[in-house]
Amino acid sequence: MKKIIDKLYSENNLNESELLNLLNNVSNNEINYLHIKAIETLNKTYGKKIFLRGLIEFTNYCKNNCSYCGIRAGNKKCQRYRLSEKEILAICLEGYTLGYRTFVLQGGEDPYYSDTILTELIKEIKKQYPDCAVTLSIGERSPTSYKTLYNSGADRFLIREETRSKELYNKLHPNMSYENREFCLHELKRIGYQIGGGFMVGLPFQTNADYVKDLLFLKQLQPHMIGIGPFIPHKDTSLSKYPPGSIEMTCILLSILRLLLPEVLLPATTALGTLDPLGWEKGFYAGANVVMLNLSPPDAREKYSLYEGKANIPDDAIKYLSNIKSRIEKCGFTLDTSRGDHISLQ
Ligand code: SAH
């Protein structure tokens, strides 16, 4: 197995059967070795820097019914909210003052936010903070809409493929299209966004062969960013009784992704930090180099409940940031508050 890891390290590639063999048979010692090789690779691209993003969860209205997600349309217990432009700009001001230079606007697929409303919002953020990147994470829209939002100043777009198993995708996403999810990623890249794909780990019925499909898909897509995190059950969903995904498997997959795509921006995700108090640290040791901190107001944070027990966040944004900074430094990394673009664009 060490040979396969060495090959992955030197060639930044493996074929389907090698990847499956690695996932099926990697031993504890070899997992350590995999993480070491991932960190060595990261040292050659971004070094010891962990990039910072500020997450603004601006709406939890959603027209979709993803069966794992707490804010899916069918959850009648979810209390819905939307943040106004004024509220969002106030959050940006607070974030900017603290040093944030990327704002991630994330939400459910909320038809209320027309292109006109979003264009105005993006233009205003870019006008007030021209040195900041705006990232959108608002799901599937038309190519025209993506283009309009890009032209109004949005820099990046996150839309995970969620899983590249067609069967599993269709099981978990009623009335959604596996093909369209992929189409959106290609379209966003073609338009010029820095794009982020990614998937969940430990979904009910997900197998190692399914992970291999995601790994090969992402290697081919060459996104600028990849977000992966463990599945965490939510009590108001049909998947509430299933166990959460494994931290160890998430970290193995993080290292493999770092080796397959040495230049990719790879967050230690909120889900990873939620399921394990040391989840972010484990992510950094596996090759992650981005951290996305929540800037949403406490009331919104509580209602933006994709899954149970989202990382307990102190209300004091200054203390929150300095706490994360010291956790990062304890791991031997530094917190980098620049825009943190993909290396090809720096
Ligand atoms: N509506 C947007 C944003 C989705 S929320 C979109 O479609 O892209 C961001 C991510 O949270 C999702 O892509 C999904 O991978 C993850 N997520 C949702 N529910 C989850 C759960 N129960 N456990 C772990 N991750 C979850």
Atom of ligand 1 minimally distant from the CA of 108: 1
Is the distance from the beta carbon of residue 283 to the nearest atom of ligand 1 less than 6 Å? no
Q: How far is the CA of 69 from the centre of ligand 1 (A)?
A: 7
Residue partners of 219: CB distance under 8 A and separation at least 6: 13, 260, 261
The CB density around residue 29, as the number of other CB atoms within 10 Å, is 10
Per the structure, the count of domains in the chain is: 1
- Cα distances (angstroms) measured from residue 279 to each of 92, 260, 265: 27, 22, 17
Does some domain include residue 252? yes
Q: How far is the CA of 4 from the centre of ligand 1 (A)?
A: 32
- Cα distances (angstroms) measured from residue 346 to each of 72, 160, 240: 37, 24, 43
Q: How far is the CA of 306 from the centre of ligand 1 (A)?
A: 7
Does some domain include residue 346? no
Q: Which of 91, 112, 92, 135 is nearest to 300 (CA)?
A: 91
Is the distance from the beta carbon of residue 113 to the nearest atom of ligand 1 less than 6 Å? no
Does some domain include residue 26? no
Q: What is the pLDDT of residue 316?
A: 83
Is the distance from the beta carbon of residue 282 to the nearest atom of ligand 1 less than 6 Å? no
Q: What is the pLDDT of residue 318?
A: 87
Atom of ligand 1 minimally distant from the CA of 237: 22
Does some domain include residue 196? yes
Mark the ranges of the chain whose per-residue pLDDT is less than 70: 311-312
Does some domain include residue 37? no
Domain of residue 192, residue span: 43-340
Q: How far is the CA of 7 from the centre of ligand 1 (A)?
A: 33
> What is the C-alpha to C-alpha distance for residues 280 and 272, in angstroms, rounded to an integer?
6
Is the distance from the beta carbon of residue 251 to the nearest atom of ligand 1 less than 6 Å? no
Q: What is the pLDDT of residue 89?
A: 98
Does some domain include residue 4? no
> What is the C-alpha to C-alpha distance for residues 214 and 207, in angstroms, rounded to an integer?
11
Is the distance from the beta carbon of residue 137 to the nearest atom of ligand 1 less than 6 Å? yes
Task: Tell me the CA end-to-end span of the chain in Å, nearest whole number.
Answer: 36
Q: What are 188's two structure tokens?
A: 């966003």
Does some domain include residue 20? no
Does some domain include residue 56? yes
- Atom 8 of ligand 1: nearest residue by CA position: 139
**CATH number of the domain to which 134 belongs:** 3.20.20.70
Is the distance from the beta carbon of residue 245 to the nearest atom of ligand 1 less than 6 Å? no
Q: What is the pLDDT of residue 312?
A: 67
Atom of ligand 1 minimally distant from the CA of 199: 15
- CB-based contact 268:283 (threshold 8 Å): yes
